[in-house]
Amino acid sequence: MTEEIKDSFLSPMSGRDFYAILGVSRQADKEELKKAYRKLAVQYHPDRNPDNPDAAAKFREVAEAYDVLSDDQKRQIYDRFGEAGLKGRGQTINPEDIFANFMSMFGGFGGFGDIFGGGRSRQRSGQGRNQQIEITLTLNEAATGIEREIELQRDVACETCNGTGAEPGSSPEICSACRGQGQIAHNQGLFMITTTCPQCRGAGRFIRNKCTACKGTGRTAVSKKIKVKIPAGIDSGNTIRVAGAGGAGTNGGPPGDLYVVIDIAEDERFAREGDDLIHEMKISVPDAVLGRRAYIPGLFDEVRVDVPKGSQPGDILRISGEGMPRLGSRGRGDLWIRLEVEVPKKPSRHVRKLYEQLREAEEKGD
């Protein structure tokens, strides 16, 4: 619907065109009506348009249109006699029915609140704040898995006021402006539209004597140690969730969660690519020519490396199953050996003489 909110829809016969208001054809079934109503109710809801006074009027008009067209009897009368026919036959629009339909469609529509000021208290419990911490592991710790004890600052219920936020001997008072509802209702014609109470900011309570220990928040920060189990094969950027280890909840609500972000320190022996490890292995020219068996330190034990004859600089050898454990599954990645042939820059006199003899032999074709 592209018209301005203030535009009206009039039926040439008798008043407003409810089909045009919802943007549907006169043959629309109930599912089409419901989808159209849902979309427009969200678009024009006063809570989403606090700076547009015309939105409330459009919202009411959309609700009226849906109330009539979703009711088979009302729709039949409207199709024959228009809006005037509803009034002439005692068919009136009940805002409470519209409210029930609206709330059942949107499952309470959290955040929009009680559109008609239903009388429910706004003193709701809330989950505590989630917290995040980063820890650094060595490659071997990531390979074996460990249990790490970490210390963090965490919000807990204030012991002085037991989490109420009020000074001992007193208690939070019901907000006089909204009478504990957290919202204030405003009459707007056929409907009552509610807004968040400016005095208690939607809490429904007012703390006159704030707890000096927590300054009325009901929570204090304490240092706490917790143990976190870190599985083998974890990698940088992986996050471990520790349920309930975050900040304390409000009004008896559950605590938040702690998210532990993992960072793996650089290792002098290996570079890591997922579950695979890469190692730079230096070999001499004779080893490259003749081949040899060597041993290098691995993650858990020594690893045997068989350098083939005639190896070239940059050749890569693969050793299966000597990489990192696969997180959450069996097996390990592979170890890749990149050969780096070392050429002596200042050979001894004896070695130099041997290389000269080798060159002469190659030139002669021996």
More confident residue, 155 or 305: 305
- Three-state DSSP at 41 gives helix
With a cut of 70, say whether residue 322 has pLDDT above it. Answer: yes
Of the listed ranges 60-74, 175-189, 222-236, the one predicted with least confidence: 175-189
Mark out the alpha helices in the chain (DSSP H runs): 18-22, 30-44, 54-69, 72-88, 95-106, 139-144, 285-290, 349-364
Q: Are strands 239-242 and 219-230 parallel, antiparallel or unpaired?
A: unpaired
Q: Are strands 15-16 and 10-11 parallel, antiparallel or unpaired?
A: antiparallel
What per-residue confidence (pLDDT) applies to 217? 79
Q: Are strands 146-157 and 173-174 parallel, antiparallel or unpaired?
A: unpaired
Looking at residue 28, the DSSP 8-state letter turns out to be: -
10-106 architecture in CATH? Answer: Orthogonal Bundle (1.10)
* Phi, then psi, of 62 in degrees rounded to 5: -65, -40
Spell out the residues 6+ positions from residue 267 whose beta carbon is closer than 8 angstroms to its own: 138, 139
At the top level of CATH, which class does the domain 131-264 belong to?
mainly beta
Of the listed ranges 23-27, 107-111, 361-365, the one predicted with least confidence: 107-111
- Three-state DSSP at 263 gives strand
Q: Confirm if 184 and 178 have CB atoms less than 8 A apart.
A: yes
Give whichever of 32-41, 150-159, 263-272 has the largest mean pLDDT: 263-272
Q: What is the CATH number of domain 271-364?
A: 2.60.260.20
Query: Where in the chain are the domains?
Result: 10-106, 131-264, 271-364
With a cut of 60, say whether residue 246 has pLDDT above it. Answer: yes
* Distance (Å, whole) CA 3 – CA 39: 15
Would 10-106 and 271-364 be classified into the same CATH topology? Answer: no
What per-residue confidence (pLDDT) applies to 280? 96
